Structure 1
């Protein structure tokens, strides 16, 4: 839910340098529809989509890199529009984006992403004080070794038999690759109120949250919470609904959970009520994310 300024970096794979076996390994071995997380390190998932859809005003609150395997992704942030094709990647920091995912000729869009925990970024930044956050857009090549580092980092998050220290090291290797390309995430030691609120709600999206309980958990008065949200043009209800719908979208794209299960997971006992809310937020039914029109 972060509303701070954002940047994104386009990283382009050089066709002459790309090892096609790496892309094949992404599609075959590395493409299970689930979300994997390691505490204080990060998360990863693969994405599949079978319809061309536009997602308006999606908030990115964690530093992330998205690698496109099939199809194309278009992102718009403020006045900047960036198209990312298969074999390319995009790095996202905090911000709000309009996103279009377009399936390839065979009708499938595929991608995978890595996201870093904020504490990991902060710890990394304290050890690299000479590396400054880079905000402009950069067009760069992904070398095969960089691709291998991305896949190793993904495996470190997916496999429980890999020690946490190794998983952290693998995610840091990707950060070093980005630093070598002039790209660094900004350490945010004091998250904004809206970021803290979004993280709280996302941790228990099926909970029956009230403004009073949230204010207590954030150690802030209800009137102050309302006033500070209003200053950003938000209400508590707006943020709760958007957090739940954004998580539902991620589950639809990254897992094979049934829609009624996803509805329960994000706080809706009625799948039909969930579908109405989802359509109101995004403009299409949940089933359309998986290619089933209604």
Structure 2
């Protein structure tokens, strides 16, 4: 059985950087973060835009998805969350002296699509509907995660090698009969959400987004309407997701966080954040 001390944990921040030393990202492949929260925090209808792996290192998180409850409360249990899961959650710190801490790994949907192209034998076992699954963090899964993080930490490692490490982790999970949902790539929603998530600080309008996607604003809005999506609501949701992650993983002041989320007014940003999550950004620090 794996102990918490053997797991990857958030190190002290790099002075002046804002981010923890271990916040890692490879464009169009993967992002890794170590969120921390000192108080209880909850959210309703939290949408997972990418396939996600979640490991709680301290405290616990409770999910509610499609009338089913899930709990991650030990560093020996890995959460596997499909793209498209829309869940309510509550995060709880371990106690007053120990914040909620987790390892949050987001996989690019194209990487998962590539995995199923390389290993089509697992496609038949892929889930048909977006789900949350928990799996015991056995030694082979832990070793694969550690190898992936070590590869990400080495700037000399190519994207191709990072991709292979991700594939290895997906193969290890498949051996435990855990298979991500095949990413949804049809329609305008995946393209638009990816565009907005890549630059949440940009002054997006439907017209600018339409230009970036080679279509008119009216065409974009019509296609979104057909998919039951409003441009303004999607943009707000993506910005608030980004804000919540920055609050939990950086030491930026609120002006910096607001600016990174496309807000020039800190008060306006704070108002939006409080309305979405029930707490002001400062309360979560």
**Aligning the two structures, in what range does the TM-score lie when normalised by the shorter sequence?**
0.7 to 0.9
Structure number with higher relative contact order (C-alpha < 8 Å, ≥ 6 residues apart)? 1
In structure 2, the residue matched to 1:97 is: 87
Q: Deviations over 1:236-258 (max 9, x none)?
A: 11111111111111111122222
Q: Deviations over 1:88-140 (max 9, x none)?
A: 22011122111111100234100012222222111111111111203676554
The aligned length equals 273
* CA distance in 1 between partners of 2:22 and 2:9 (Å): 14
* CA distance in 2 between partners of 1:18 and 1:181 (Å): 17
In structure 2, the residue matched to 1:18 is: 2
The structural deviation recorded for 1:187 is 3.5
**Aligned in 2, Cα 1:68/1:276: closer, same or farther, shift over 3 Å?**
same
RMSD: 2.3
* CA distance in 1 between partners of 2:27 and 2:169 (Å): 18
Q: Deviations over 1:214-252 (max 9, x none)?
A: 122223333332233334443211111111111111111
**Aligned in 2, Cα 1:29/1:262: closer, same or farther, shift over 3 Å?**
closer
Q: What stretches of structure 1 of length at least 5 have no aligned partner?
A: 1-16
In structure 2, the residue matched to 1:134 is: 127
Q: What stretches of structure 2 of length at least 5 have no aligned partner?
A: 14-18
In structure 1, the residue matched to 2:243 is: 248
- For residue 120 of structure 2, give the secondary structure of its aligned residue in structure 1: coil
Q: Deviations over 1:251-286 (max 9, x none)?
A: 111222222101011111121111111112222101
- For residue 201 of structure 2, give the secondary structure of its aligned residue in structure 1: coil
Contact 1:201-1:240 within 8 A present in 2 as well: yes
TM-score calculated relative to the size of structure 2:
0.87
**Aligned in 2, Cα 1:41/1:226: closer, same or farther, shift over 3 Å?**
closer
Contact 1:207-1:267 within 8 A present in 2 as well: yes
TM-score calculated relative to the size of structure 1:
0.84
2:280 paired residue among 271, 278, 285:
285
